[in-house]
Structures are given as C-alpha cells and as structure tokens.
Structure 1
Amino acid sequence: MAELEDALTAARSAYAAATRALALAEAAADAAEVSVAPMVVDELTVKRINVVEDDGSLRIVIGNSTHGKTMPLRGELIEHPGRHPSAGILFVNDEGTECGGLQFAGTRGTDAAQQTGYLAFDDFEQNESFRLGLYQEGGASQKFLEFADQPAWSIADLVAETDGQDEEGRRQVHDRYFGDADGRGRSRMRLARENDGSVRLVLRDAHGRDRLRFIVPADGDAVVEVVDHEGTSHSIL
C-alpha cells in the first residue's frame, strides 16, 4: 500500500511539473506572438480517460467495463466489492472518493436478453442516495426513480478495517457495520414501472417502512393504500 501511495505521489508530481512546463511554453509562445493551433484528433480509441485537477488528483473516470469494476477511494483505486462490470463515467469528489456515476451494460445472455443503465449520486463516502435507472431481463423490466437515506459510517473506514482480514475477520467487521439498526441504507421513495407491468409510487418512513402507496396495475383499477405503524394496509381507493 505504501509503495502504491509513493507511486501515486510521484506520478502527480510529474504531471504537475509537466503542466507547469506546458504553461511556460505557452506563455513564451504568446510573448513571441507565435500562434500555436490546438491539436485536432478525428478519432480516439481508448480504454480509459482520466480527468484530473491541476495537481493531478482524479476527478472523472471515463472507462470500459474493466475499469468500471474499480472505485476511487480517498485518492486510491480499489476493486468495488459489489459492482457488476459496466462501462460508463465515475465522478470523484474533492477528496478523491467516488461520489456518483453513469453506468451501462447489456447482453443477449444464455436465457434472456439483459440490459441495465443508471445514473446515481452517492452520499459522502457512502452508497447511492439517488438513482435513476432501468433493469431489463427478457420480458420483465423496471424503470425507476429512487431516493434513499444512507448510514453515517464511511465505506473508506469499512475497507480499511477489512483490508488483510481473513473471511471470518471480514464477516465480523461487516456484521459490526451493517448489523446495527442504523447501519443499512433505507429507501424513502420509489417511483417505478415494475416487472409485473404496474406503475407504483411508494413513500416510506425513516425506518424504510411503506407508509403510502399509489398503484396503477397493468390491468384493473388503481389503488391508493395508507399503511399504519403495524404494517397493515388500508385502501382508500
């Protein structure tokens, strides 16, 4: 890990030096009234594009599905523990941690065609708190807009504590983070076209419990349901 950090520091220093040299060259060209036309490239074929700050710190990643499996975390790139391979764009906050993205994937598959695509915004060092997406498998498909509350703990801290642990050690750490009542994310609102063909708007309380449902089935009458604290549904339409 220390060697990787040293390499990243050296790379950023080299990039900063090159940027300063380029700026000096451009200033010299301006002083000499020499016009330097920008280079125009008709086509680029790349696996990954990194957009960085003046000091070389990463801010945006445009990459293929291989790079889509990684995530920036406090200035380092680590393998994402739960992301399926997908190409797209990752956005990085001021401290070098992923804060959102745009991802797409699709295949005919062996049993049925599959297609996914979503835009997501993350809470600080946490998972997605806003998602706009699509998931299709064969004839079943979902299109959804969802808001969620995420816990206060940091994914970076979780990764640091599980680093180097065996399977049992990782399980204990995960249980400690996710086992608490406030340790998991909770969906608060979901507007979706669901797999059964219905369209639903579901509003949930701070505990993630359904409290109000607006349902338009694929066939049949629309339904409005109010759900009490005990989970009992009362239809008002």
Structure 2
Amino acid sequence: MRIDASRAIGAYAAVTTLAIAWLMLGANAAPKTAAFDTIDVQRINIREPDGTLRMTIASRDRMPGIIVAGRETPHPDRPQAGMIFYNDEGTENGGLVFSGALKDGKPTNLGALSFDRWRQDQTVALSSDEAGQTRQAGLAINDRPDRPVDFPTVARLVRQPASAQRDAAIRAAGVGVAPRAFLGRTPDKASVLALRDPDGRKRLELKVAADGRATIDFLDDQGHVTRSITDVNR
C-alpha cells in the first residue's frame, strides 16, 4: 500500500490536536469525588489549593511537630493522637488530642480541645484529664505573652538540664502563661469557678466542695482570703 505523506502528517496533526484538547478539558473539569466504606491510614493532611496545610489528622506516631508558617520544629512533648488545626498562613492554632491507657495498673486518660493565640500557645482549652485517682475536667482560659514563641529556640532549650538560667531563656523565647479563669471539677472532687488577675493570681473563687459545702472567697494579691461567704443553711 502506498502512503501519502501529506495525508499522514495531516492525520497526525489532527490526532495530536484532539489529544491536547482532551487534556485541556480534563484539566478544567470538576475534581472527582471518591467514596469509600473504610480507609485505614496513619495520617491525613488537609491542604488549600496552593498547598497551605490547614489540618492534620494523625496517629500518635505520625503527629507533626510544631509548624509555624510551614516550617516544622520537633514538638517537645505531644504523645497523643488527634487533629491539629492551622491558620491561613499554615501556622498551628489549636487542635483536638486524646490518649489513654493503663500505666502501672492505673487508668490514665486525656482528651483536650484547645485554641491558640497567633504563633503562641493555647488560650482556650476544654479538657478531661485522669491519672489513677486524680481527675480534673473543665474549661480553662489563659493569657499568653504579646510576642510570638521562638519555637526552634524552645525546642533546643527543653533538651538541656533544668536550671534557673534555662528557664529564664525559655521565658525570653516567648513562653509564658497567666491563667485567667477555670470552670470545672478539681482533683479534690470540688466544682469550682476561679477567676484570676492579669498576673495569674487568684482573686475570686466560687466553690462547692466534695461534702456539698458552698463558699465564695475573695482574695488579695498575696493569695490571702480577705472575705468569705459560706452556705449559712448547712
């Protein structure tokens, strides 16, 4: 059979054009949605179209370190599984973590949902913590320093032996907390609402003790009770 070269080139060009058009149409098509009954994974990263990380769901062994603006630093202490949330710049700003097991024959359990200040640590935390007979659960509100934490410096410092000099350097790197409010159950089996001043000093506490006795305590800046109101009917 004799092949006409000009016709062959024309046919090749037509096939190539159709292939390119198919690829372009496929690229502009809506993304496909896959459905699964069960997925077994150790980690899932949720990202924006530009690649910015927005959430990680991971097992304990695959939990990420501290990520700030896309840069990861090893976490000094996060032995839990869960979810980590990230803001628009890809910086950690909260999460939901959980753990629990028998340790030395005693039950331990932790569940915590928290939200962070920008490039800082948690300012709101709803948690339940159990270690043997010691249990606490509640909502905590914290103040954090006005400067971001220098996470790489802190990660390096926490590996050093404890000392006053090390602790001062960690504070200089932006680590600090002033508890402002707590509502929940305390380890002594009381239900408490405690309010603190900007320096973290307790100034007002409403409490119902394990025996049912109710008190309202007013405290000075040294932690001394200056006035106490009790349940006079008991």
Normalised by the size of structure 1, how large is the TM-score? 0.77
Q: How many residues align?
A: 207
Instruction: Indicate yes or no: 2:50 matched with 1:55.
Output: yes
Q: Flag the 1:50–1:211 CA change in 2: closer, same or farther, 3 A.
A: same
Counterpart amino acid of residue 116 in structure 1: L
- Provide the C-alpha distance between the structure 1 equivalents of 2:59 and 2:98, rounded to a whole number of angstroms: 10
- Provide the C-alpha distance between the structure 1 equivalents of 2:167 and 2:100, rounded to a whole number of angstroms: 31
Instruction: Indicate yes or no: 2:60 matched with 1:65.
Output: yes
Instruction: Indicate yes or no: 2:34 matched with 1:27.
Output: no
- Provide the C-alpha distance between the structure 2 equivalents of 1:162 and 1:218, rounded to a whole number of angstroms: 40
Which residue, 194, 204, 208 being the options, matches 1:212? 204
- Provide the C-alpha distance between the structure 2 equivalents of 1:151 and 1:89, rounded to a whole number of angstroms: 25
Which runs of structure 2 are paired with 1:84-123 in the superposition (5 Å)?
A: 85-123=79-117
Deviation at 1:109, TM superposition (A): 1.4
> Aligned-residue CA RMSD in angstroms?
3.0
Structure (1/2) with the larger helix percentage: 1
Deviation at 1:39, TM superposition (A): 2.7
The equivalent residue for 1:17 is: none
- Provide the C-alpha distance between the structure 1 equivalents of 2:166 and 2:25, rounded to a whole number of angstroms: 51
Deviation at 1:230, TM superposition (A): 3.1
Cα deviation per residue 1:118-145 (whole Å; 9 max; x = unaligned)? 0000001111100000001223211110
- Provide the C-alpha distance between the structure 2 equivalents of 1:74 and 1:101, rounded to a whole number of angstroms: 16
Instruction: Indicate yes or no: 2:168 matched with 1:175.
Output: yes
Q: Flag the 1:179–1:51 CA change in 2: closer, same or farther, 3 A.
A: closer
Counterpart amino acid of residue 60 in structure 2: S
Identity across matched positions, percent: 33
Structure 1: gaps (5+ residues): 1-21, 31-35
Structure 2: gaps (5+ residues): 1-22
Counterpart amino acid of residue 189 in structure 2: G
Instruction: Indicate yes or no: 2:224 matched with 1:223.
Output: no
Instruction: Indicate yes or no: 2:167 matched with 1:159.
Output: no
Partner SS state of residue 176, structure 1: helix
Instruction: Indicate yes or no: 2:66 matched with 1:74.
Output: no
Counterpart amino acid of residue 192 in structure 2: R
Which runs of structure 2 are paired with 1:188-199 in the superposition (5 Å)?
A: 188-199=180-191
- Provide the C-alpha distance between the structure 2 equivalents of 1:218 and 1:147, rounded to a whole number of angstroms: 24
Partner SS state of residue 178, structure 1: helix
